[in-house]
Amino acid sequence: IAASTPRLFSTTFSASEAVLTSSTTSPVSATPTPPSSSASSSLVNLLRNQLRYYAVAEIKNRPYLITKNDIIVLDRLKDVKLGDVIELNQIKELGSKDYTIKGQPYISPEYYSIKATVIEQPKGKIIETFKKKRRKHFQRRYQIKPLHTLLRVCELEVKAQ
Amino acid sequence: LKNGVGAFIPQCRRLVFHYCERSGSSRGMIEYLKKDLIRFAKEHPHLEVIVTPRPSKHPVIRGLYLNGKDKVICVRNMEPRDIAGKVDLLKESAGNRMKVFKKPVISTTESVRGIWSPFHSTPHKI
């Protein structure tokens, strides 16, 4: 598997510190603590000790809420082949059951590692849009056959700090 | 288990090219077979490429996939450039029926944060 870092997904996050909030679901709610730069690594480790994670990844300026083994359905990416592994580095939110990290606007890539493989580039079914204005002799039929790229999220990990 | 997580296995297994030596609709197909097919077959060593004449019929490309299904495309009267496009279409598919993708993410994992319940969230304050 060739690990490629394509130009499309170059990171443009700001240098400011990501905000870590704790959102527990128990009746005794924990108060959210804004992190100082020395405490942020311990807070990320809190997240890391949980069992499962999700991430809100931004691909081509669109958000996708993903967990591991998911399939992302995208519009066709032109410069990508079957089997290519893409590293996602525009991540807006990274979370687990009790804790989330929210990026401003993106999270620093030293906290996570998220990769997706291109598994298929199919054609979708014909989508037909029918427009009619009655009594005006206006009707149109638009047909689109969309092209897709399917990505499988093969890795979604929070790195140890 | 899931294709792409550990290892990626391309879903197209075999491509069969049928052509007719005499008919005019196979002209572009024969040109494609002579010029572009060998390079394509070398670039994709996982694909089994079969070329057989099928006299008095239109030229056809048949793709066989790992789930046992096949897709057939008739390429009559097409130029080699268009035939190459159809071959790419077959190569990059996975044997499933064409369908409308309604959601951006297809997932079988349970929700990470759980489903909301009124008994387990912060109590309502008046």
pLDDT tens string B68-82 = 999 999 999 999 999
Q: A72 in contact with B at a CB cutoff of 8 Å? A: yes
* Residue in the structure block whose two tokens are 């054609």: A123
pLDDT score recorded for residue A18: 41
A106 and A13 Cβ atoms separated by less than 8 Å: yes
Measured distance CA(A152)–CA(A66) in Å, rounded: 10
Q: What is the mean pLDDT of residues B28-57?
A: 95
A99 touches chain B (CB under 8 A): no
- What pLDDT shows up at residue A46? 82
**Which residue is listed with tokens 């990290």?**
A101
Between B116 and B1, name the one with better pLDDT: B116
The pTM score is 0.79
| B2/A95 CB distance under 8 A | no
CB-CB: which of B8, B106, B107 is closest to A83?
B8
Nearest Cβ partner for A119 among B3, B99, B120: B3
- CB contacts of A26 in chain B (<8 Å) are 120
- Give A21's strand partners: A100
Q: How would you write the pLDDT of chain A (161 residues) with one tens digit per residue?
A: 333 333 333 333 333 334 444 444 333 334 443 444 556 788 788 888 888 999 999 999 999 999 999 999 999 999 999 999 999 999 999 999 888 889 889 998 889 999 999 999 999 999 999 999 999 999 999 999 999 999 999 999 998 87
- pLDDT on residue A37: 57
Q: What is the pLDDT of residue A94?
A: 92
Determine the pLDDT at residue A35. 47
Mutate to test the interface with A, among B107, B117, B121, B122 (most CBs of A within 10 A): B107
ipTM exceeds 0.90, yes or no:
no
Sort A83 into a burial class: Cβ within 10 Å, 0-12 / 13-18 / 19+.
middle
How far is C-alpha A136 from the chain's CA centre?
A: 45
Report the 10 Å Cβ neighbour count for A9: 16
The answer to whether A115 faces chain B, any CB pair under 8 Å, is no
Reduced 3-state DSSP string for chain B: CCCCCCCCCCCEEEEEEEECCCCHHHHHHHHHHHHCHHHHHHHCCCCEEEEEECCCCCCEEEEEECCCCEEEEECCCCCHHHHHHHHHHHHHCCCCCCCCCCCCEECCCCCCCCCCCCCCCCCCCC
In this prediction, residue A38 carries a pLDDT of 57
- In chain B, what residues touch A1 (CB-CB under 8 Å)? 7-8
Q: Does A32 touch chain B (CB under 8 A)?
A: no
Candidate from A54, A69, A152 with C-beta closest to B112: A54
* Gap from B93 CA to chain A (nearest CA, Å): 5
Does B121 contact A25 at a Cβ distance shorter than 8 Å?
Answer: yes
